[in-house]
Amino acid sequence: MSSLLSVESLSVRYGRVHAVRGASLSVGEGEIVAVLGANGAGKSSLLNGILGLVPAHHGALRFASRDLTGASPPQRIAAGMALVPEGRRIVMSLTVEENLLMGAYLRRDAPAVRKEIEALYARFPNLAARRALLASVLSGGEQQMLAIGRGILARPRLMLLDEPSLGLSPLLVQELFRLLAELNREGLALLLVEQNTRQALRLCTRAYVMELGAIVMQDRPRALLDDQRLVAAYLGGSR
């Protein structure tokens, strides 16, 4: 199996707190992988560890058949990763367009970036209408689109998404997941951390379940949906 990203026994520590304990996972080319788990299970730390935002205490990471274990975030981004962070982290004092340009910070091919920005505007007309305005005027849904657009402009092969549906209305969540499926059809692999378990399982091809910093389960979404333990723990009873 050709895997795009493979993480082996990654550990992330904040001081004496073990946020991630020896997590191993892989994402194949063009796959959608979900990481599920309760609050504080270490999902965000896992993503931050994969992008190198927090130094890995232990473990190895290969991406696109390169060893990136000790690489800096710019090196990992240049290699083809992009993170759409929790809470979107839009830069409010920059305009919408400048935020998009920040996504392409490491790219040197300005004309291509220009073209891709125009393509993004065609996809998100709301952003196009506000391109010259400060990003702080955007609504939550628009901010999420901007955060994803910013991620796309890094031209990644793998996009890491941290709770993209957080704070969005049910309607916007639907729209978001449609967008993610569309991006995936265009060849982008996704590693998705979600609390919206049901939606995530409907979208993904494989899912991991994290608990207290460790990966405790890995399966096809169908099987996980049938798993009574998981349903009880994360889906809140029968529905």
Which residues fall within 8 angstroms of residue 141, CB to CB, at 6 or more apart? 168, 169, 172, 175
163: left (phi over 0), alpha (psi -120 to 50) or beta: left
Interface with another protein: number of residues (CB under 8 A): 42
Rounded-to-integer distance, Cα 90 and Cα 195, Å: 21
Which residues fall within 8 angstroms of residue 190, CB to CB, at 6 or more apart? 31, 32, 33, 158, 159, 161, 180, 183, 184, 204
Question: Binder to another protein among 152, 168, 191, 192 (CB under 8 A)?
Answer: 168
Query: Is 219 among the residues that bind another protein (CB under 8 A)?
Result: no
> At its nearest, how many Å lie between another protein and the CB of residue 106?
5
Query: Is 94 among the residues that bind another protein (CB under 8 A)?
Result: yes
Query: Is 169 among the residues that bind another protein (CB under 8 A)?
Result: yes
Q: Looking at 20-28, 62-70, 167-175, 213-221, which segment touches another protein (CB under 8 A)? A: 167-175
Question: Binder to another protein among 13, 21, 43, 150 (CB under 8 A)?
Answer: 150
Q: Looking at 26-34, 78-86, 117-125, 224-232, which segment touches another protein (CB under 8 A)? A: 78-86
CB 192 within 8 A of CB 35: yes
Query: Is 88 among the residues that bind another protein (CB under 8 A)?
Result: yes
Question: Binder to another protein among 114, 115, 140, 216 (CB under 8 A)?
Answer: 140
Residue ranges of the alpha helices (H) in 130-220? 140-152, 170-185, 197-203
Positions touching another protein (CB under 8 A) are 51, 53, 72-74, 77-78, 83, 85-94, 98, 101-103, 105-106, 134, 136-141, 143, 150, 154, 166-169, 172, 195, 236-237
